[in-house]
Amino acid sequence: MSEKAAETYKEEAGKEENALQKGSEEIGNIIESLKPPVVIDGGEVGSHLNEYQGKYVDIGLNTNGNDVTTDDWELFYAGNGRIYLIAADYVPADVLEQQWHVIGSGGTLTSYGFERYSNSDTYCVRWPSTPTEFLALPTEPNNYLDLVMHKGYTLDDSKNNSKAVSQLLNTTSWNGIKTAASADKQKCIDFVIGGPTLEMWCEAWNEAVEGDTNGFVTIDPDPQTSSYGYKVKHDTTSGYSMYMDGKTSSTLSSDQNTALKTTYKTFFPHTESYQSCSGYWLASPSDYFTLYLMGVYYDGRVDRGSYNGRGLGVRPVVCLESGVQLTETSKGSNIYNVSM
pLDDT tens track for 157-194? 889 899 889 889 988 889 999 999 988 899 999 999 99
- Per-residue model confidence (pLDDT) at position 229: 92
The arithmetic mean of pLDDT across residues 2-17, rounded, is: 64
Question: What is the enclosing helix (H) or strand (E) of 295?
Answer: strand 292-297
Query: Residue 91's closest CA among 77, 68, 105, 72?
Result: 72
Confidence bin at 219 (pLDDT 50/70/90): confident
- Give the strands of the sheet with 242-243, arranged side by side: 242-243, 301-306, 292-297, 279-285, 312-313
- Per-residue model confidence (pLDDT) at position 6: 63
- Per-residue model confidence (pLDDT) at position 74: 95
DSSP symbols for 75-127: EEEEETTEEEEEESSPPPHHIIIIIS--SSTT--TGGGT-EE-TTS-TT-EE-
Query: Residue 149's closest CA among 85, 229, 88, 91?
Result: 229
pTM of the model: 0.86
pLDDT tens per residue across span 254-278: 676 777 777 788 998 888 888 778 8
pLDDT tens per residue across span 25-69: 666 556 555 667 788 899 999 899 988 999 999 999 988 767 788
